[in-house]
Structure 1
Amino acid sequence: MLLPTLLVLPFLASSRCSTPAEDDVRLIVLVSIDQMTPEQLERLGPRFSGGFARFLGGERHRLAFHDHADSSTGPGHATLGTGLWPSHSGIVGNLWADRAQGDAGIYCVADPSVAPLGPLGPGAVGPAGRSPALLLGDGLADHLKRASPGSRSVGIAGKDRAAILATGHAADWALWWDASGGQGFVSSTYYGDALPDWVASFDEAWWNRLPDAGWETLEASRDPRLGASADVRAGEAPRTFPHALPLAVPREPGASNELGKQQRAQLSRWVYGSPWIDLFSIELAERALDALDLGRDESVDYLFLGLSGCDIVGHSYGPRSLEVTDLLLRDDAALGELFDAIDARVGAEHWIAALSSDHGVLPLPESLDSRGYDAVRLAPNEMQLGSSRLGELLESTYGTNFVTGVTESGILLDREAMEREGIGLEELATFAREGSADWMPRLRTLFTQNDLAPREGSAPTGGLARLAAHSFLDTRSPDLVVVLEPWTLVGFPYGTSHGTPWPYDRHVPLLFLGPGSTPGEDWRPCATVDLVPSLLERAGCPIPDGLDGSPLH
């Protein structure tokens, strides 16, 4: 792995973590539950007895929000791992447009200069290489490596963008699930030329860990006191328990236990939409403890664990579904076992942990509508349809369709054509706002570069504009940033999603465990950019200049 220049400069004594002592923190653990909401912790708390129960008994910040508009997995995990807004980390979305390259679909961790890496070697898995090359800021792994060159960091998650962006440039390994190819946990040649033995051994016949019965609910999950919804309800994916395996795994004595590529891929996709995506991630994290000797010397090490199942399952069934409830109860038990293992190997006084999420989620629109909310499920392709209608309106008015494309967060325009014809960005934005009823239902507002880009003596100080500015980078953001009315869902024929600046998508858990934490609830507002400086301070490490957050006390 080629480390960025900033990581190979001489280390300064003043940048090191505190002098080692018997009670020093030696390991930082960050757990991100993708799409977890504070409501879920509150509602299911009485039944938690493992890892989540530990967090609930620790330091709990009840009013923690992401302080940016694009509440997606890439930006959220980059913020959790860097302490920077997307406007400074560069991760303004899961996908964005790059006008200089003429590419409207750049994936946030794509890197064509490296190869995918699976148990069969480089290039034998996945469509393309992955790395933190597009991350503009430093992550926790970078800060710890700078403070102590012997520091070790690893990120493990169901999703590549979570494992990569929450660690940084200097991670020893980032590992994620091969959801389409069936090879188990994979990585890229950015991190090494071959998977470590402890990963390759896990990947060997991983399907043997799956239960024959597939996914059946725990008895505890059906406890009516937990407030989970019925297994069948309006707006959910049309699938119910039990969720059977797509094929039978051969287990007879003497029978071949090898599966073909297509069979592995089928089972791998099933894992990706079940609790086993999290249970496998936690199992691999425990292997990493021993293989990398995390937390067992004077350096401060870092383990990032991204549990992606809540999001993958939640997209199909909603945050109060029986499926998500069952998954979180399983995560709680497995995390409890992992934390017990860390206590035994590292010592309870030598590690700290934080729990948060990359974003929240909109409850099922049908559920909200039944409770009197003005909630609407728009057509899955409504943004594309809207941009096409806007283009037609522009052509009928100006003689030219200036719309060139649409991204997750807005609309791309032909700036050169606009300049040739003397049409300013603000004029076009005003036209789009005033005629919104003719092209985009439930449009709340539009922002342009002039509204959001930082200018001397002028920057948005509050409201939607401030949040949108924290998600805006001119070279990667659309010309017209679109904000729809709250309680509006676009892109999913069933289930739900996130990605908006509204509180239900930005309100996330933020809890701490271990030395430096103060048990109890804190109701003062705070932001997820405060997580990194808080962890560094509690680990006795220097807090670098330029972060967008501050330590929580």
Structure 2
Amino acid sequence: MRFIPFAPLALLLASPLAAQDTPPPAAEPARPAPKLIVVISVDQFSADLFAEYRNRFTGGFKRLLDGAVFPAGYQSHAATETCPGHSTIMTGDRPARTGIIANDWVDLNGPRPGMVYCAEDERVPGSSFSNYTASDIKLRVPTLGERLKNADPRVRTVSVAGKDRAAIMMGGHKVDQLWFWRDGKGFISYSDRAIPASVGRANVTAEAQIAKPGAALVEPAWCKSIDRPIVANGKTVGNGRFARPAKNEGLWKASPAFDTAIFGLATAMVQDMKLGRGPSVDVLTVGASATDYVGHGFGTEGSEMCIQLANLDQTLGKFFAMLDKTGVDYVVALTADHGGNDIPERERERGMPMAARMDLTVNIKTVGDDIAGTLGLKGPLLFGGVNGDVWISNKLSPADRDRVRDAAVKRYAANPQVAAVFTKPEIAAATLPAGPPETWSLLQRARASFDTERSGDISIFLKPRITPIPPATTPAGTIATHGSIWDYDRRVPILFWRRGMAGFEQPLSVETVDIMPSLAALVGFALAPGEIDGRCLDLDGGPGSSCP
């Protein structure tokens, strides 16, 4: 890595002739570019989970620990959700540039007024928020794969994920193969894409697994210390082993079996398409989704997450072993789309008295109805949610919209569970953040997720460890979540590995937008200054540099 060493005073006073006594070391020959770029996003794999389990890994994660390790990575923006996070990884841009401000948002003036999804085309006749056509049209910038493909049509790009938004946001607008899981249908793609044999085989295997009961998985010995049942919103978690009844697709997805299926399809794509063995570089992106489903359904600090990560570690190890057998020179980057927060019931037992569930006084409908009654207006007035954007009804006059905005800001600012409330003009006027992401103000974090056309009229952010899932007495599927403006949701590991590289660990903060330019430099693809938000990270652990 490039650095300027400290020079002792005696050396500074030495004569110029003395400095010439020792010839400079010969420059190392440039290493050829890798033939295959592999980028993996582990959904909801926080930096906290990485730190907690890194000394337990024996498989694929252990290999990555021998590469370039950046344990303090950041999804630096406020919108710590799946779609915005994935949009940063292969574009090098924050959501303010990608246009992906959330998983979904409200468009009151669009072709289908109301909620729209980040990976849909709402212009399709008959579409709805819950029955949509997957599309890449919301992504406003190109990915590395499509940039390379534009420069050289021989480049092949493949994107595989458990969620459509993960596959689309990492694959981009120009892909040779793009496949994601759709409940009840298996791995699917856009309607006009022919189904290759690899996808057919993957679906047959997955369908057979779902059809059968799932036996309880073996718990590693090091998981036993956190194996303890706890009730969260009427649901007992913390000591699960992923046993499941037959034909329960939801529980199959919230288990290590889902990642096995995703990497199984990625393996088949590598083998069938002979990725990395063509005339140019190829790009493969993989979105591993099971960790997110486990986190939402069971929390992040019980036996379930421990078993999930132990199994993912082995799945990654098998995937890398398969890549080794191809003989292809490949580089891997692994990160996450966001972090995650555990259930408040368990957090309070572990020294976090501030942990709580959202009170209904924060609920958008509750606040909107209260304002409507106070101001004598007809509702609904407010749309959206907390920890992000809120939109004011476009059926109101400009004066009434201002009244509603001011009333909402006042109510939320006074709520003891709310950390900050910003109006759209406040966020728009803020300068785009720069420098270490851990030093950004809350307003700067919101600015990094702001889009003039798509963002709401107000942005509301809860205090740390306030889970935006209200208390419930009946068992709920989702008991924990992410999406906050706080670092437990922003911080993610960023790991690079390539055979023969000099590994190192760099503890300073970096961003997921830095992944794309770092990989672009390895394959010699030039980016203009200021063209993207990210910067190249030097992945050479020696005196040289992998950056231009």
The TM-score, its normalising length taken from structure 1, stands at: 0.81
Matched residue SS, 2:496: strand
Kindly state the Cα deviation for residue 50 of structure 1 after the two structures are TM-superposed.
1.4
1:355 maps to amino acid: L
Question: What do the CA deviations read for 1:66-93 (whole angstroms, capped 9, x no partner)?
Answer: 1100100000001112111111101111
Q: Using a 3 Å threshold, how does the CA distance of structure 1 residues 387 and 482 change in structure 2: closer, same or farther?
A: farther
CA–CA distance in 2 between the matches of 1:382 and 1:357?
32
Aligned equivalent of 1:376? 356
Q: Using a 3 Å threshold, how does the CA distance of structure 1 residues 330 and 106 change in structure 2: closer, same or farther?
A: same
Q: Using a 3 Å threshold, how does the CA distance of structure 1 residues 399 and 303 change in structure 2: closer, same or farther?
A: closer
Matched residue SS, 1:541: coil
2:230 maps to amino acid: R
Kindly state the Cα deviation for residue 219 of structure 1 after the two structures are TM-superposed.
4.0
Alignment counterpart, residue 331 of structure 1, candidates 312, 325, 331 = 312
Note if contact 2:241-2:307 (Cα within 8 Å) is conserved in structure 1.
Answer: no
Q: Using a 3 Å threshold, how does the CA distance of structure 1 residues 207 and 24 change in structure 2: closer, same or farther?
A: same
CA–CA distance in 1 between the matches of 2:484 and 2:240?
31
CA–CA distance in 2 between the matches of 1:62 and 1:391?
45
Q: How does 1:162-201 map onto structure 2 within 5 Å?
A: 162-179=166-183, 181=184, 183-189=185-191, 192-201=192-201
Is 1:58 matched with 2:33? no
Matched residue SS, 2:153: coil
Note if contact 2:380-2:393 (Cα within 8 Å) is conserved in structure 1.
Answer: yes
Aligned equivalent of 1:77? 86
Is 1:157 matched with 2:161? yes
Q: Using a 3 Å threshold, how does the CA distance of structure 1 residues 211 and 39 change in structure 2: closer, same or farther?
A: farther
Note if contact 1:157-1:175 (Cα within 8 Å) is conserved in structure 2.
Answer: yes
Stretch moving more, 295-304 or 516-525: 516-525
1:486 maps to amino acid: P
Q: How does 1:21-100 map onto structure 2 within 5 Å?
A: 23-100=32-109
Note if contact 1:403-1:411 (Cα within 8 Å) is conserved in structure 2.
Answer: no
Aligned equivalent of 1:448? 423
Kindly state the Cα deviation for residue 499 of structure 1 after the two structures are TM-superposed.
0.3
Kindly state the Cα deviation for residue 53 of structure 1 after the two structures are TM-superposed.
0.7
Q: Extract unaligned runs of 5+ from structure 1.
A: 1-20, 116-122, 248-265
Aligned equivalent of 2:302? 321
Q: Using a 3 Å threshold, how does the CA distance of structure 1 residues 50 and 392 change in structure 2: closer, same or farther?
A: same
Kindly state the Cα deviation for residue 529 of structure 1 after the two structures are TM-superposed.
0.9
Stretch moving more, 288-297 or 513-522: 513-522
Q: Using a 3 Å threshold, how does the CA distance of structure 1 residues 552 and 382 change in structure 2: closer, same or farther?
A: farther
2:356 maps to amino acid: V
Q: How does 1:490-529 map onto structure 2 within 5 Å?
A: 490-491=468-469, 493=472, 495-514=479-498, 518-529=502-513
Stretch moving more, 51-60 or 493-502: 493-502
Matched residue SS, 1:329: helix
Q: How many residues align?
A: 490
CA–CA distance in 2 between the matches of 1:219 and 1:400?
55
Aligned equivalent of 2:15? none
Q: Extract unaligned runs of 5+ from structure 2.
A: 1-29, 435-439, 473-477, 539-548
Q: How does 1:96-135 map onto structure 2 within 5 Å?
A: 96-101=105-110, 103-111=113-121, 127-135=131-139
Note if contact 2:33-2:522 (Cα within 8 Å) is conserved in structure 1.
Answer: no
2:134 maps to amino acid: R
Note if contact 1:534-1:552 (Cα within 8 Å) is conserved in structure 2.
Answer: yes
1:366 maps to amino acid: E
Q: Using a 3 Å threshold, how does the CA distance of structure 1 residues 219 and 491 change in structure 2: closer, same or farther?
A: closer
Q: Using a 3 Å threshold, how does the CA distance of structure 1 residues 211 and 56 change in structure 2: closer, same or farther?
A: farther
Alignment counterpart, residue 467 of structure 1, candidates 429, 432, 445 = 445
Note if contact 1:515-1:538 (Cα within 8 Å) is conserved in structure 2.
Answer: no
Note if contact 1:228-1:325 (Cα within 8 Å) is conserved in structure 2.
Answer: no
Matched residue SS, 1:217: coil
Aligned equivalent of 1:233? 230
2:331 maps to amino acid: I
CA–CA distance in 2 between the matches of 1:161 and 1:406?
20
CA–CA distance in 2 between the matches of 1:98 and 1:292?
40
Aligned equivalent of 1:279? 260
Aligned equivalent of 1:217? 217
1:291 maps to amino acid: D
Aligned equivalent of 2:527? 543
1:25 maps to amino acid: P
CA–CA distance in 2 between the matches of 1:26 and 1:436?
52
Matched residue SS, 1:105: strand
Q: Using a 3 Å threshold, how does the CA distance of structure 1 residues 343 and 543 change in structure 2: closer, same or farther?
A: farther
CA–CA distance in 1 between the matches of 2:245 and 2:466?
34
Note if contact 2:392-2:405 (Cα within 8 Å) is conserved in structure 1.
Answer: no
| Superposition CA RMSD, Å | 2.9
Aligned equivalent of 2:22? none
Question: What do the CA deviations read for 1:359-394 (whole angstroms, capped 9, x no partner)?
Answer: 001122122222143111125x665x3443244235
Aligned equivalent of 1:256? none
Note if contact 1:453-1:459 (Cα within 8 Å) is conserved in structure 2.
Answer: no
Q: Using a 3 Å threshold, how does the CA distance of structure 1 residues 520 and 22 change in structure 2: closer, same or farther?
A: closer
Q: Percent identity, please.
A: 28
Aligned equivalent of 2:337? 358
CA–CA distance in 1 between the matches of 2:467 and 2:389?
15
The TM-score, its normalising length taken from structure 2, stands at: 0.82
Question: What do the CA deviations read for 1:424-474 (whole angstroms, capped 9, x no partner)?
Answer: 4xx755543433377x5511121112111257xx55674011110111112
Q: Using a 3 Å threshold, how does the CA distance of structure 1 residues 246 and 114 change in structure 2: closer, same or farther?
A: farther
CA–CA distance in 2 between the matches of 1:132 and 1:399?
38
Question: What do the CA deviations read for 1:6-28 (whole angstroms, capped 9, x no partner)?
Answer: xxxxxxxxxxxxxxx99431111
2:199 maps to amino acid: V
Q: Using a 3 Å threshold, how does the CA distance of structure 1 residues 476 and 57 change in structure 2: closer, same or farther?
A: same
CA–CA distance in 2 between the matches of 1:445 and 1:71?
16
Q: Using a 3 Å threshold, how does the CA distance of structure 1 residues 390 and 131 change in structure 2: closer, same or farther?
A: closer
CA–CA distance in 2 between the matches of 1:537 and 1:22?
12
CA–CA distance in 2 between the matches of 1:212 and 1:394?
52
Matched residue SS, 1:294: coil
Alignment counterpart, residue 408 of structure 2, candidates 415, 428, 432 = 432
Stretch moving more, 471-480 or 488-497: 488-497
CA–CA distance in 2 between the matches of 1:94 and 1:382?
24
CA–CA distance in 1 between the matches of 2:135 and 2:226?
39
1:270 maps to amino acid: L
Note if contact 2:92-2:512 (Cα within 8 Å) is conserved in structure 1.
Answer: yes
Matched residue SS, 2:492: coil
